[in-house]
Structure 1
Amino acid sequence: MSDETIISARRILILSANPRDTDRLRLDEEVREIRDRLNRAKYGNRFTVQLATAIRIRDLQQELLDHEPDIVHFCGHGETEGLLLENNLGEAVLVPSEGIASLFALCSQHVECVLLNSCHSSNQAEVISQHIPYVIGMKKEVFDDAAVEFAGGLYAALGAGRSIEDAFEFGRNALKLHDLPDELTPILLKQKVVANAPEKTISPKAKNTTSSDRPSVSAPVATKQNLPQRLITARQENKLIPIVGAGVSMSLKDESGERLFPGWDQLLEYAADALKTNMPLMP
């Protein structure tokens, strides 16, 4: 894989925990399904997958700091009060929802989506969604086969270039195709835009630019790590998105992008300039 491909790839971090005093889960099968679906997908090479197993509380910060993922996928046990990780003896320990949410608040500049593929994780999803654009949780108990199939359908769609919202629906459809009773268990929460939120700091050069006819820009923020999906979403929804960063990999300017969205080349040219000046991106 070339350096350019690595730079432009969206990073997926899979965190798994199955404490020895909890029921055994088929976590290996879930991870294998995710990797297999991405390997088979036409745009699968635009993703990298990192796996961290037997996660302890103190591992959470380190993994997020080390990998700076765009997508965080947790597979394991959950309760309404939080997620179950492992202590130093491999036994279950509860991580409260507020602690998890505050950690993701610290990582909100690069994390675009959090998937909690664990039982009773809707409460955690709710508090995390205050800081992260897309959060997927489970309203009730979710069984192994449903967790695997939902993940497979979701990542197959992401690997095909679909949006996170579309991928969520493909995951739910996979449950229906396999005649599993859990179709309505997964929920997708989107970050709410807070009214009268303080403006993000922009460079003096950007402030001097005429923008009277430009619509207001709303969260979430695009960085060079999540730019490909932000461009696609902005293109589909005809919205403006803000961009921060020092550069963008022009390896994304390929025939597949131009075929999917006419004008892709010009859009990326503008994105490259916008990243240098912290200007909003106009699709």
Structure 2
Amino acid sequence: MPLTRLELRARITRLLRSDADLDSFAGDFFPEASGRFTDGMDRVRKTNILLDYADPEVLAKQLRLLERSPKAAAKPAEDGPIKLLYLASNPTSMDQLDLTREARRIADRLRGGKPRRVNEIEIVPRWAVRRSELQRLLLEEDPHVLHFSGHGSGRARLLFEDDGGNIAPLEAKSFVSLIGILKHRLQLVVLNACDTEPLAGALVRHVACAVGMRRAIGDEAAATFAETFYEALSFGEPIGAAFRLALIALEISPIREEQTPVLRFKRGVDADKRKLKR
């Protein structure tokens, strides 16, 4: 059965990890596509051009050959940083959250103290995320950590946007199924949104650990939790210890929302020993 465009995109992301790899591959096998690449063009655009101009059957064949080659097999999985895909969704009809500030605070905390950091964590923010593009983003980015900031509902749904910025709910069953198929390198999911504890519990059928919220959480508490949690992970703390450090940060702050976040983990996983890995 021929590979779909989404499946081809996923293989390109997995096998051609650097811009140099993508440029070289396109130049060697698909010069028509490569000739349309320009200096400074981002990776997503290059991938789209390759998918548009390459014969799908030939592209699939070359990717399979690359996958079987000794060079591809020998490529260490630990190359590159740990990728944190930060999804922000803020439908216009809902209370507006300060998600830009949260993402900036996380990024700032991941910059300092580099000589002592065990893990380089790269935050990849995506704004005004629509329900319809979630699958594509997971395929393109293949993250180690998935972070959702926005609104949840009492029925364990995440509230994404549609093309007009209106509410587009994603049912828990659909989200869990999507993660089950596209988990690949995914080790941790953080749902920085109200009433997401049940969803976190369902997700650990597929990923090692997930964080959800028992109830509504304020902007300041959400940002404080996230920046402390990811900073601790970047210094090599296990997920369980990083979670407790983030709770302490809430406990000693004026907001006192330390009872809101909850950590769930897969059966057989010891969160006090489990660390992020590339």
Instruction: Give the alignment's TM-score, normalised by structure 2.
Output: 0.67
For residue 79 of structure 2, give the secondary structure of its aligned residue in structure 1: helix
**Could you say which residue in structure 2 is the equivalent of 1:20?**
92
Q: Is 2:147 aligned against 1:73?
A: yes
1:116-195 aligned within 5 A:
116-193=191-268
RMSD of equivalent CA atoms: 2.7
User: Which amino acid counterpart does residue 229 of structure 1 have in structure 2?
Assistant: L
Between the aligned partners of 2:102 and 2:77, the Cα distance in structure 1 is 25
Q: What residue in structure 1 maps to residue 104 of structure 2?
A: 32
Structure 1 unmatched ranges of 5 or more: 194-217, 221-225, 231-247, 249-283
Letter in structure 1 aligned against 2:259: L
Q: Secondary structure at the match of 1:40?
A: coil
Alpha-carbon distance between aligned partners in 2 of 1:41 and 1:122, rounded to the nearest angstrom: 32
Could you list the structure 1 runs, at least 4 aligned residues long, displaced by more than 3 angstroms after superposition.
3-6
What secondary structure, in the 3-state scheme, does the structure 1 residue paired with 2:256 have?
Answer: coil
Counterparts of 1:1-283 in structure 2, within 5 Å, are 7-42=79-114, 43=117, 46-81=120-155, 82-193=157-268, 229-230=276-277
Which secondary structure state, in structure 1, belongs to the residue aligned with residue 251 of structure 2? Answer: helix
Distance 1:113 1:39 in 2: 21
CA shift, 1:109, in A, is 2.7
In structure 2, relative to structure 1, the CA distance for the partners of 1:144 and 1:110 (3 Å cut) is same
Superposed CA deviations along residues 209-263 of structure 1, whole A, max 9, x for unmatched, are xxxxxxxxx899xxxxx9x835xxxxxxxxxxxxxxxxx9xxxxxxxxxxxxxxx
User: For residues 62-100 of structure 1, what are the alpha-carbon distances to aligned partners after superposition, in whole Å with 9 as ceiling and x for unaligned?
Assistant: 111001000001000111220100011100111111111
Query: Secondary structure of 1:166's partner?
Result: helix
* Matched residue SS, 1:126: helix
Change (3 A) 1:229 1:121: closer
Q: Percent identity?
A: 29
Provide the C-alpha distance between the structure 1 equivalents of 2:118 and 2:124, rounded to a whole number of angstroms. Answer: 14
Q: What's the CA shift for 1:5?
A: 11
CA contact (8 A) 1:80 1:122 kept: no
Q: Which amino acid aligns with 1:78?
A: G
- Give the Cα–Cα distance (whole angstroms) in 2 for the partners of residues 5 and 132 of structure 1: 18
1:79, 1:119 within 8 Å by CA — same for their partners in 2?
yes
Aligned to 2:206, the other structure's residue is in SS state coil
Residue 6 of structure 1, CA deviation: 8.7
* CA drift at 1:177: 1.7
Question: What secondary structure, in the 3-state scheme, does the structure 2 residue paired with 1:162 have?
Answer: coil
How many residue pairs were aligned? Answer: 201
Give the TM-score, by structure 1 length. 0.66
Structure 2 counterpart of 1:110, which letter?
Answer: R
Quote how far apart the aligned CAs of 1:41 are. 3.9
In 2: Cα distance, 1:229 partner to 1:60 partner: 23
User: CA separation in 2, counterparts of 1:143 and 1:116?
Assistant: 13
Show structure 2 runs of 5+ residues with no match.
1-17, 21-75
Give the counterpart letter for 1:50 in structure 2: V
SS, match of residue 8 in structure 1: coil
Q: Call closer, same or farther: CA 1:154–1:137 in 2, change over 3 Å.
A: same
